[in-house]
Structure 1
Amino acid sequence: MTLLVTGANGQLGQELVRMGDERIHIVGYGRDQLDITDLAQCREALADVRPNAVIHTAAYTAVDQAEAEPDAAYRVNALGTRNMAIAAQEQNTKLCYISTDYVFDGKGSTPYNEYDNTNPQSVYGKSKRAGEALLQSLCNRYFIVRTSWVYGKYGNNFVKTMLKLALDRDTITVVHDQIGSPTYTYDLAAFLIELVQSEAYGIYHASNTGTCSWYEFAQAIFEERGISIRTEPCTTEQFPRPAPRPAYSVMDHSAIRTNGFNDLRHWREGLRAFLQELEV
């Protein structure tokens, strides 16, 4: 089986590319090799690689910057996804689009089901939701996988930031009123590769299981690493950002259960595995 990964230089893209083996051949295209905002390039990439499936991780992910650059966010997340969907449909290729918990408003108090109404509040969330809608209208063989709070070996993320800050601080203040599920790229990538080998098309919520606040996540990082540091909780209002964050972005994994896939492990186990990987 051959898989084409877009956004191959990103956090999740790099994780996916290194998972190739003799059974699954993975071809990764970064932005320098494939500009997804160019339909001709998307068609060319699929014609060259002839993949069985595309895992489309390329995205505009600068959440706060998107508020000032809506056109740039929509160009990549909406039109870029439209282009990939057109090219995939023409080749009858499966397309898996990585989406986000930001498609919800975060005002709920029970986990969001795959079929709950979306109501994105930020430009980033709206542009990712637009990508979902375009994919659904243009492509027959699609998977939409919404994930949250992603971290891993490649790129910058919350876990690496906390470890770095702990080197020269004795107190760290972290938001405690945003609740979600941290997701380790290794676990997410393994699920995606399993998913695209199936015909179980549709929308999926995939994150490590269990929930926590960013404050509790930070505490867990320091506990697992044996770092002694004072961690102080604060509210979202005390830490204002240009783009609104969902206060509650826990997602129910109903599609994983009903389609017979194994769920991702608990977020604390994923964190432990990642911290061990960092030390290697």
Structure 2
Amino acid sequence: MVKVWIVGAGGQLGTAINEVLDPLEAEVFNTDKEELDITHTDEVIGFGEINRPDVIINCAAVTDTGLCEAQPELAYRVNALGARNLSIVARKTGAKIVQLSTDDVFDGLSTTPYSEFDDTNPLTVYGRSKRAGENYVKEFTHKHFIVRSNWVYGRGENFVNSVIEKAKSQRELPVASDQFGSPTSARDLGRIILHLIRTNEYGTYHATCKGTCSRYEFAKEILKLAGLEAELRPVPTRESELSSVRPAYAVLDNFILRIIDVYEMPGWRASLEEYMEEWMNRGGIG
């Protein structure tokens, strides 16, 4: 039975991976910052040497872009040094490592989707700290999967759940019409990660649901599936209370997945529909 260590297990992606993982196939070690601080090198190495994981999945990160700008040292400690420490464990134990990354490693100035071979040029502290984490993973271990995604949603705080909550209390919602990306459910991201760790197809991957939309179009689909009737108003990012300042064009091309024909992601609308059905079954709880 494979031993899988999920770091940042309490977040939306860690939760989703636990939901789609077959407990008969893996022994899972779930840790979050309460159990293990990944910025403490000796603590991380000690945990790894005791438990000897076969796979490490790093979902831990400081993702709040405003917090990263205000506290860059925190961003780099968690997003860069945390990834380094986990990579040291992977090298010591011979484990595979999955490093979750983001479209924010790009500048968002393109008009065509970014592939894995495009040069990174992050404009934010968050993006730079995540790129530093990628570089540490590449430096310390070759048995790695760097997985970039964007507009991820699942259980917890995210755009989907924010739109739903605000629609319950506001008649009109101003939503950014100048941000473009590919909404991706945490469950679908978890599924591709579990597929990759069964292979030796190491490297960097873009993994988003198929298709592109604006935040405004995304919000329209969310409200339709939720059966809510708030009025949406398309506005620039600066006027939207639902969208932090992120790269304007966050579309990733799943180029490597396509050319090696290893896995096909679903369309973003079908994926959102699956999530919203589960949301209804949970009684509308995010």
Alignment TM class, shorter chain as reference: over 0.9
State the distance in 2 between where 1:242 and 1:127 align: 21
Q: Which amino acid aligns with 2:10?
A: N
Equivalent of 2:89, from 87, 90, 97? 87
Q: Which amino acid aligns with 1:174?
A: V
Which position in structure 2 is the counterpart of 1:265? Answer: 266
Which position in structure 2 is the counterpart of 1:10? Answer: 11
With the length of structure 1 as denominator, give the TM-score of the two structures.
0.96
Q: Deviation of residue 239 (structure 1)? A: 4.2
Which position in structure 2 is the counterpart of 1:176? Answer: 177
C-alpha offsets along residues 186-227 of structure 1, whole Å, 9 cap, x if unaligned? 110011011111100000001111010110000011112222
Q: Which amino acid aligns with 2:255?
A: S
Provide closer, same or farther for how the CA distance between residues 241 and 127 of structure 1 changes in structure 2, counting only shifts above 3 A.
farther
- Aligned CA RMSD, in angstroms, stands at 1.6
Provide closer, same or farther for how the CA distance between residues 17 and 220 of structure 1 changes in structure 2, counting only shifts above 3 A.
same
C-alpha offsets along residues 46-74 of structure 1, whole Å, 9 cap, x if unaligned? 22222211111111111111111000000
Provide closer, same or farther for how the CA distance between residues 118 and 243 of structure 1 changes in structure 2, counting only shifts above 3 A.
farther
Which position in structure 1 is the counterpart of 2:284? Answer: none
State the distance in 1 between where 2:243 and 2:229 align: 32
2:229 aligns to what SS in structure 1?
coil
Which consecutive residues of structure 1, in runs of 5 or more, have no partner in the other structure? none
Alignment of 1:102-181 (within 5 A): 102-152=104-154, 154-181=155-182
2:44 aligns to what SS in structure 1?
helix
1:66 aligns to what SS in structure 2?
helix
Which consecutive residues of structure 2, in runs of 5 or more, have no partner in the other structure? 282-286
Q: Deviation of residue 180 (structure 1)? A: 0.3
Q: Which amino acid aligns with 1:95?
A: I
Which position in structure 2 is the counterpart of 1:255? Answer: 256
Q: Percent identity?
A: 38
CA contact (8 A) 1:20 1:26 kept: no
1:172 aligns to what SS in structure 2?
strand
CA contact (8 A) 2:237 2:244 kept: no
Q: Deviation of residue 162 (structure 1)? A: 0.9
1:32 aligns to what SS in structure 2?
coil
State the distance in 1 between where 2:269 and 2:243 align: 30
Which position in structure 2 is the counterpart of 1:27? Answer: 29
State the distance in 2 between where 1:217 and 1:242 align: 12
Which position in structure 2 is the counterpart of 1:64? Answer: 66
Which deviates more, 79-88 or 221-230? Answer: 221-230
1:166 aligns to what SS in structure 2?
helix
Tell me whether 1:226 sits opposite 2:227 in the alignment.
Answer: yes
Which deviates more, 138-147 or 234-243? Answer: 234-243
Q: Which amino acid aligns with 2:15?
A: Q
Which position in structure 2 is the counterpart of 1:214? Answer: 215
With the length of structure 2 as denominator, give the TM-score of the two structures.
0.94
CA contact (8 A) 1:89 1:138 kept: yes
CA contact (8 A) 1:67 1:242 kept: no
Provide closer, same or farther for how the CA distance between residues 107 and 14 of structure 1 changes in structure 2, counting only shifts above 3 A.
same
Q: Which amino acid aligns with 1:206?
A: A
